[in-house]
Amino acid sequence: MHEPAGRPRDDVILSVEDLAVHFPVGGGLLGGGRRLLRAVDGIDLELKRGECLGLVGESGCGKSTVALSILGLQMPTRGRIVLDGQVVTGQQSLDRKALARIVQIVFQDPYASLNPRQTVRRTLEAPLRLHGVTTQSEIEERVATMLRHVGLRPEQADRYPHEFSGGQRQRIGIARALILNPKIVICDEPVSALDVSIRAQIINLLLELKETLGLSYIMISHDLGVVEHMSDRVAVMYLGRIVETGHWREIFERPAHPYTRTLIAAIPDPLRRVPLATTKGELPNPLSPPDGCAFSPRCRYAENVCHREPMPPLETRPDGHAVRCWRANEIAGQPALPSN
């Protein structure tokens, strides 16, 4: 028996509590001089049934490590993950087959994520057979139904990946993720490798499938334009931590963390709601994080307290908007500064 999550909320299908993933780096055979890479450093997330949670931030901030932990492919250093009422970390961890029936992933690159030596039929049949579906008629029916769901024809099932365009390959990747009828789908930059002309088609397909099949999504991206279009709520990550989270409209129209404002300013939008607020430098080396707030060396709003004191805890407001910044109240109430 798996440990119950203890009075879980019916509307929450995924809960991530104080998740940390640390990696020892360097040190040689004897371990001398070894340092700790804090890829994820104590985050809390909730995903409600039927919603899309956008998880955003620059490359290297820890988004994909969070996804791998939820999928059971990365062992957390600490923390607890509760999926559909069951604790799936530590000694209570579900086996991979059971976990795969709850949560699946759509990968970024449709060219690299499909086996070029397998037909679409074999790609979609394999998980069904692995999970105990043995009746050939049922397998064929489920494959055909899923291909129709993603906008492909059942007769295309006997083709190989190289016979499809990039957008069609991503549709196959989506079909593979959904073939076991999971409740949660993690979309890891699902349109970033596609031509601009077909990105909207895949985004609209994902939204349609979410409603049709009753799915819950985690949308991982550094592209806030995609996140704004798809997400109900947004969580912003910086150097392994959540720095701001809230309803998408609050995040995009009244961002309270300087880093969030910088990300929004990068959206190519001639009718920008938030004026440009540039930042300086690049993401710090996670092996040598700066003193004080991790964002302070790049932040144009930083004061002495920001360089001296660690990043404060997330402060949640009555409307559910939460932010981790010493000057959040001041920043939220003023327009972003113009670009230099």
Q: Tell me which of 335 and 64 has the higher pLDDT.
A: 64
Question: How many other CB atoms are there within 10 angstroms of residue 309's CB atom?
Answer: 13
User: How far, in Å, CA of 158 to CA of 243, rounded?
Assistant: 47
* Torsion angles phi and psi, residue 127, rounded to 5: -65, -35
Q: Where are the domains of the chain?
A: 12-25+35-231, 258-340
Share of the chain above pLDDT 70, in %: 88
pLDDT greater than 50 at residue 2: no
pLDDT of amino acid 158? 96
What does R_g of the chain's alpha carbons equal in angstroms?
A: 21
User: Which fold, 12-25+35-231?
Assistant: Rossmann fold (3.40.50)
Q: Tell me which of 338 and 96 has the higher pLDDT.
A: 96
Could you tell me if 293 and 310 are in contact, meaning their C-beta atoms sit under 8 angstroms apart?
yes
- Residue range 33-37: average pLDDT? 80
pLDDT greater than 70 at residue 209: yes
**DSSP collapsed to 3 states, 130-177:** HCCCCCHHHHHHHHHHHHHHCCCCHHHHHCCHHHCCHHHHHHHHHHHH
pLDDT greater than 70 at residue 168: yes
Question: pLDDT, tens digit, for every residue of 235-289?
Answer: 999 999 999 999 999 999 889 999 998 888 877 664 445 444 556 666 777 788 8
Question: pLDDT, tens digit, for every residue of 9-19?
Answer: 679 999 999 99
Burial call 184-203: b when 16+ CB within 10 Å, e when fewer: bbbbbbbbebbeeebbeebb
Question: pLDDT, tens digit, for every residue of 290-308?
Answer: 888 989 988 888 899 999 9
Q: Tell me which of 91 and 258 has the higher pLDDT.
A: 258
- Residue range 81-109: average pLDDT? 87
pLDDT of amino acid 14? 97
pLDDT of amino acid 20? 96
pLDDT of amino acid 276? 47
pLDDT of amino acid 338? 43
Q: How confident is the model at residue 47 (pLDDT cuts 50, 70, 90)?
A: very high
